Structure 1
Amino acid sequence: MGEQKSRAKLIASGLIPFSFLVVMLVFILSSGSSLINLGIPLPELTIEKINFVKSEILVTVRNTGPIPVDVAVADVNDRIQPAAIEPDKHLERFETAVVKIPFSWNKGEPYKIGLTTQEGIRFEKSVDAAALALEPNSDTMGLLLLIGTYVGVIPILIGLMWLPFIKKISNQKYIFFLALTVGLLLFLGIDAIVEALEVSSENLAGVFHGPLLIATVVLISLFGLYYAGEKLTKKSSLTKLANPYSVALMVSIGIGLHNLGEGLAIGAAIGLGQVALSTFLIIGFALHNTTEGIAIAAPVAKEKTFIRKIIGLGLIAGVPAIFGTWVGGFAYSPFTSIVFLAIGAGAIFQVVIVISKWLREYDRSFTSTPVVAGIAIGMLIMYLTGMLV
């Protein structure tokens, strides 16, 4: 009986503050709102995407303000144009619509698209060079498949071909390659965050608080995957060191998530005409991503080689780039791109922690020449090859 009373008191002590919070919120949202509503809420529209199709411009717009908005007027280069709005010109908060503007645009020319609300407030977005939007057909999908394969799959598989070399080197040199892997992954993680911040600043509405979203997703991904990895390690009754192939799998998944986000960005850039495909660009991505194969190979270099597993690890890391180019090319979403880049960054940092535990077995202070040189050279390699992209 006493235990039931104490349990009831515990539940009540938790519910009472929550009840007061609910009452306060109900009051503020109802009769109390008139007491604290100061100033005039202003409408806000975010132009998320501009597609150029035959004799028409399609503008995807979202209401990111605190109040409902009616889109009244559309203009191109400051000249008002007739426009149809689907599904409706009235947008509730966070609701989206597509503004269809009949317009004979010219390829490669810059355009400034403006939308004006019923209140007379204008919002605009510029396009540096107009390009025909990608259509989801077999030819386009084949092209994006080829691009994803060139920038994602093939370079990583080439990088894995260094495995026999790494297997034959001495322990000191192997430590260097493990540290090199840490450097490569650290750069990839930082690069993913930088890319996400760029997408946030250029395409994401301020109401979504891009930097905070990125930080939140990175940390959730990092701690969530670290927790899952620790649980799996304990269940597998392994030694104090994780199974090398498990670590390599974690590396592959982290790189795969990063390449998915990278593929989204590439596909979107191609679809929006923001990047010109060239041999130099493909070579740049190939060199940059080949190092990712080394990062996968290093953890398993001292283990028995299973060709199928090695190829599988390479495909896990590389194939997401293909899916990324498809999604980015046909249905790009800044929010989705940011989330995947942030998840990839968190996954990569989690792998860095795991590999760092390995390195501590050889160098507890992380001050030996192979470790310091490996991390530094790994980051430098990624920076230099990244300049080609």
Structure 2
Amino acid sequence: MEEIKASKIRLIASGLIPFAFLVVMILYLLGPGSDLLQFGVALPEITIEKVEFVDSEIHVTVRNTGPISVVIVMADVNDRIQPAAIEPHKSLERFETALVRIPFAWNHAEPYTIGITLDDGVRFEKFIEAATPALKSDSELAGFFAIIGTYVGIIPVMIGLLWLPFIKRIGKNKYNFFLALTVGLLFFLGIDAMLEGFEVSKENLSANFNGELLIITVALLSFLGLYYTAEKLTSRATLSASSKPFAIGLMIAIGIGLHNLGEGLAIGAAIGLGQVALSTFLIVGFALHNTTEGIAIASPVAKSKSPVLKIVLLGLIAGAPTILGTWIGGFFYSPFTAIIFLAIGAGAIFQVALVILKWIYQSEQKLVQTSIISGIGSGMLIMYLTSILV
């Protein structure tokens, strides 16, 4: 026992010693050796993360994203200096935020350029295309978001599931085509989620946060985590010929649900920031685009003997997160939550696409055949054409 205990101590020490040296080196560079890092000129930088129009005021949320502390001294609207109150204080340490309240009689739907000037004279600005009153969190607005999420997420997916009886009756080659079509749909959704994340990062996140790398990292972690979960789920289902298709359908529903969570977040944020008008045409466009997600779930489930209630449950798993996303986006939006949800959804989508490809390969022993290649291409083309309407 003594030898075993001593061996464990040596093992732990061998792992901690390099870490301890690293900590000592960092502390030295930040302390006595800080002169080694003092080269060049440190420039201030702030990020205007949110602009809200409330009654007769403009509320501007500002974050210090530079390497040095900054002091806010002035605010302007359309290049005209305005009085402003800064809460909690005008001096910001790195990554600290402040709320700049500007008394201003703004007009609905008019464009405004908001400027913030620091004590060294450097000015930062953000352009707002159309001023819209800030949303007031109440049950009525929550109900409105729920209705929008239902139209955009749940109903289209359920309509897509109505393809299930048709897919059940088709032959093997046509069935492989629909499975491959599902892969194409999922590939497009994954790529679309990544691109949306990159766009949010570019427009709303400081370069110091490395938004693009954060998206790739989170997407990869999501992919690996869900791939491990899927392997466990499908391996347990190998004893039943009908349970494995349902397990794959469940993973598709989870992956699409995570994607729709990010989509709902983007919709809620757009409403809250006044950047999009939800017209009937927009609702129809989302409905057409997301109906294909129901087909993606129906394709593998068609070969199972799952009861109708289970299939409806899959549709809810895929579509209902859109409602949650609209609530988060409308009431608690931040660029971080947006890109993280989009990245998680992208990783989940790519993982599900890989699971389906593996399933096709196990059945056919090859992937290069007309039905599969045409199915993947058709899936991506359908998603592209329906995305134009959104």
| Cα shift at 1:273 | 1.4
User: Does the 8 Å CA contact 2:237/2:244 hold for their aligned counterparts?
Assistant: no
| 2:204 corresponding residue in structure 1 | 203
**Distance in 2, Cα, partners of 1:87 & 1:240:** 63
Kindly provide the amino acid, as one letter, of the partner of residue 63 in structure 2: R
**Distance in 1, Cα, partners of 2:277 & 2:13:** 63
| 1:64 corresponding residue in structure 2 | 65
1:159 aligns with 2:160: yes
| 2:41 corresponding residue in structure 1 | 40
Kindly provide the amino acid, as one letter, of the partner of residue 315 in structure 1: L
**Superposition pairs of residues 55-134 of structure 1, within 5 angstroms:** 55-134=56-135
**Distance in 2, Cα, partners of 1:253 & 1:11:** 39
Q: Secondary structure at the match of 2:187?
A: helix
Gapped regions of structure 1 (runs ≥ 5): none
Kindly provide the amino acid, as one letter, of the partner of residue 59 in structure 1: V
**Distance in 1, Cα, partners of 2:246 & 2:89:** 53
**Distance in 2, Cα, partners of 1:61 & 1:289:** 36
**Superposition pairs of residues 211-230 of structure 1, within 5 angstroms:** 211-230=212-231
**Superposition pairs of residues 251-330 of structure 1, within 5 angstroms:** 251-330=252-331
- The CA RMSD over aligned residues, in Å, is 1.8
Count of matched residue positions in the alignment of Structure 1 and Structure 2: 389
Q: Secondary structure at the match of 2:59?
A: strand
Q: Secondary structure at the match of 2:150?
A: helix
Kindly provide the amino acid, as one letter, of the partner of residue 187 in structure 1: F
**Distance in 2, Cα, partners of 1:365 & 1:235:** 25
1:332 aligns with 2:371: no
User: Does the 8 Å CA contact 2:238/2:244 hold for their aligned counterparts?
Assistant: no
| 1:29 corresponding residue in structure 2 | 30
Q: Secondary structure at the match of 2:76?
A: strand
For residues 72-119 of structure 1, what are the alpha-carbon distances to aligned partners after superposition, in whole Å with 9 as ceiling and x for unaligned? 111111111111122222222212121111111111211111111122
Q: Secondary structure at the match of 2:156?
A: helix
**Distance in 2, Cα, partners of 1:355 & 1:240:** 16
User: Does the 8 Å CA contact 1:251/1:348 hold for their aligned counterparts?
Assistant: yes
For residues 237-280 of structure 1, what are the alpha-carbon distances to aligned partners after superposition, in whole Å with 9 as ceiling and x for unaligned? 64799711111111111111111111111111111111112111
Cα distance change, pair 204–241 in 1 and its aligned pair in 2 (3 A): farther
| 2:343 corresponding residue in structure 1 | 342
- Between 1:16-25 and 1:175-184, the stretch displaced more is 16-25
- Between 1:80-89 and 1:348-357, the stretch displaced more is 80-89
User: Does the 8 Å CA contact 1:241/1:358 hold for their aligned counterparts?
Assistant: no
**Distance in 2, Cα, partners of 1:22 & 1:320:** 42
For residues 15-60 of structure 1, what are the alpha-carbon distances to aligned partners after superposition, in whole Å with 9 as ceiling and x for unaligned? 3322221211111111100233112322211011111121111111
Cα distance change, pair 242–64 in 1 and its aligned pair in 2 (3 A): farther
Cα distance change, pair 8–143 in 1 and its aligned pair in 2 (3 A): closer
| TM-score (ref. length: structure 2) | 0.95
Cα distance change, pair 66–302 in 1 and its aligned pair in 2 (3 A): same
| 1:149 corresponding residue in structure 2 | 150
User: Does the 8 Å CA contact 2:237/2:247 hold for their aligned counterparts?
Assistant: no
Kindly provide the amino acid, as one letter, of the partner of residue 155 in structure 2: I
User: Does the 8 Å CA contact 2:74/2:118 hold for their aligned counterparts?
Assistant: yes
**Distance in 2, Cα, partners of 1:348 & 1:46:** 32
| Cα shift at 1:173 | 0.8
1:174 aligns with 2:164: no
Q: Secondary structure at the match of 2:109?
A: coil
**Distance in 2, Cα, partners of 1:240 & 1:66:** 59
- Between 1:133-142 and 1:304-313, the stretch displaced more is 133-142
**Distance in 2, Cα, partners of 1:312 & 1:11:** 48
Gapped regions of structure 2 (runs ≥ 5): none
**Distance in 1, Cα, partners of 2:239 & 2:374:** 30
**Superposition pairs of residues 222-261 of structure 1, within 5 angstroms:** 222-235=223-236, 238=239, 243-261=244-262
Q: Secondary structure at the match of 1:243?
A: helix
**Distance in 2, Cα, partners of 1:6 & 1:338:** 45
**Distance in 1, Cα, partners of 2:92 & 2:374:** 56
| Cα shift at 1:137 | 2.0
Cα distance change, pair 10–241 in 1 and its aligned pair in 2 (3 A): farther
User: Does the 8 Å CA contact 2:234/2:248 hold for their aligned counterparts?
Assistant: no
**Distance in 1, Cα, partners of 2:36 & 2:220:** 39
Kindly provide the amino acid, as one letter, of the partner of residue 354 in structure 1: V
**Distance in 2, Cα, partners of 1:242 & 1:44:** 55
| 1:363 corresponding residue in structure 2 | 364
**Distance in 2, Cα, partners of 1:211 & 1:65:** 18
| Cα shift at 1:7 | 5.0
**Distance in 1, Cα, partners of 2:308 & 2:63:** 49
